[in-house]
Amino acid sequence: MTHKFKGWPNRLVVAVLYLFLLAPILVVAVISFDTQSTMAFPPQGFSLQWYERLAQNEEFITGFKVSGIVGGGVALLALALGVPVAVALTRYEFRFRELLSGFFLSPLMVPGIVLGLALLLVLAPVGITGTYGGLIVAHLAITVPYVIRTASMSLMTMNRSCEEAARTLGASAWTTFRRVTLPLIAPGVLAGGVIAFLISFDEAVISLFVVGPQATTLPVEIFHYVETRTDPQIAALSVVLIAISIVFVVIIERAAGLRKVLR
């Protein structure tokens, strides 16, 4: 009875749409192995020269390191701030709970370009633009909501009577959290941390305002590179980044289920 998609015309439609969806990634993968240096098609031959050049591109390597360090810092800080909020929102009833929950999600409703400019206005006078600290602060607002969401989901689905059991057995609220709650929500917390890292690692727009000569993230380096040049070095870099994403996707999927956390 799934007649609409049993027939080949419908399958063809779905196949064409899949092709459209995956086209940019596929084409990037193909030309990363090309021999010619312009963004032209079809490829002229097979070579790894762009990967070799990539390995020697100091700006990209530094950007990669900066993004990695910033992403790690953002993930840790977002967890430290977000997990307690998730506990408060899921475990306690208090006034303004809904309001607070809305407030913590609100940064996702503000365009990156606006938040970037706003952060520049605050961070520039303090002199922390272009520093790791500045970048970490800048990425905090857009990552904490995801940590809150994944941690809240784990907290809501875990067996709450385990916490009560620990309490009746003599554990204080803090000990209960440390010995029982945290181990049980660990997958959700890990997923939240990985998502925070990925968002920070991929973030380009906010960073555009907050980077500086001392610390520029990889997406910003790529943006400026593509603005001026279009050789397949970017394609090679993209393939490397896609490979890294796949590793992370597998981690999240194993830990919590990708669809649940992105919803």
Partner 1 sequence: MLGLTVPGLLGLAVSFLLPLLWLFRMSLNRGDSSGLIVEAISLDSYGQFLGDPYYWKMAWETTQLGVGVTVMTVLVSYPIALFLVRTESRFKGVLVALAIAPLLTSSVVRTYGWLVLLGNQGVVNSSLHSWGLIDEPLALINNKLGVYIALVEIMMPYMILALLAGFGRFNPELEHAAASLGANRWRTFWRVVWPLSMPGVLTGALLVFVLTISSFITPRLVGGGKVFYLATEIYDQATATLNWPFAAAISFILLGLFATVIVLYQRAIRRIEAQ
Partner 2 sequence: MAMSFLRLEHIVKTYPGTDRPSVADFTLDVERGEFISLLGPSGCGKTTTLRMIAGLIEPTAGHICLDGKELTRTPVHQRGMGLVFQNYALFPHLDVAQNVAFGLEMRRVPKADVKRRVAEALELVQLGHLSGRRIKQLSGGQQQRVALARALVVEPSVLLLDEPLSNLDAKLRDTMRDEIRSIQQKLGITTVFVTHDQDEALATSDRIVVMSEGNIEQVGTPEQIYEHPSNQFVANFIGRVNLFDAEVRHTANGVAAVDVAGLGQMQAADDLGRPGQVTVLVRPHRLRINEAGRDDAHGTVESVVYVGDSIEYSVRVGTKAVAVQSVAGRHGRLERGTPVRLSWETSDALVLK
* Residue span 184-213 as binding mask against partner 2, x where in contact by CB under 8 A, dash where not: x-----------------------------
Among partner 2, partner 1, none, the one that 159 touches (CB under a kind-dependent 5 to 8 A) is: partner 2
Q: Is 48 in the site for partner 1 (CB under 8 A)?
A: no
Q: Which is nearer to partner 1, 166 or 233 (CB)?
A: 233
State which of residues 151, 234, 236, 255 lies at the interface with partner 1 (CB under 8 A): 234
d(Cα 77, Cα 193) in Å, to the nearest integer? 9
Among partner 2, partner 1, none, the one that 56 touches (CB under a kind-dependent 5 to 8 A) is: none
* Residue span 118-147 as binding mask against partner 2, x where in contact by CB under 8 A, dash where not: ------------------------------
Q: Is 106 in the site for partner 2 (CB under 8 A)?
A: no
Among partner 2, partner 1, none, the one that 71 touches (CB under a kind-dependent 5 to 8 A) is: none
State which of residues 11, 179, 229, 254 lies at the interface with partner 2 (CB under 8 A): 179
Q: Which of residues 19-78 bind partner 2 (CB under 8 A)?
A: none
Among partner 1, partner 2, none, the one that 1 touches (CB under a kind-dependent 5 to 8 A) is: partner 1
State which of residues 44, 106, 157, 175 lies at the interface with partner 2 (CB under 8 A): 175
3-class DSSP string for the chain: CCHHHHCHHHHHHHHHHHHHHHHHHHHHHHHCCCCCCCCCCCCCCCCCHHHHHHHHCHHHHHHHHHHHHHHHHHHHHHHHHHHHHHHHHHHCCCCCHHHHHHHHHHHHHCCHHHHHHHHHHHHHHHCCCCCHHHHHHHHHHHHHHHHHHHHHHHHHHCCHHHHHHHHHCCCCHHHHHHHHHHHHHHHHHHHHHHHHHHHHHHCCHHHHHHCCCCCCCHHHHHHHHHHHCCCCHHHHHHHHHHHHHHHHHHHHHHHCCHHHHHC
List residues binding partner 2 (CB under 8 A).
93, 159, 161-162, 164-173, 175-176, 179-180, 183-184
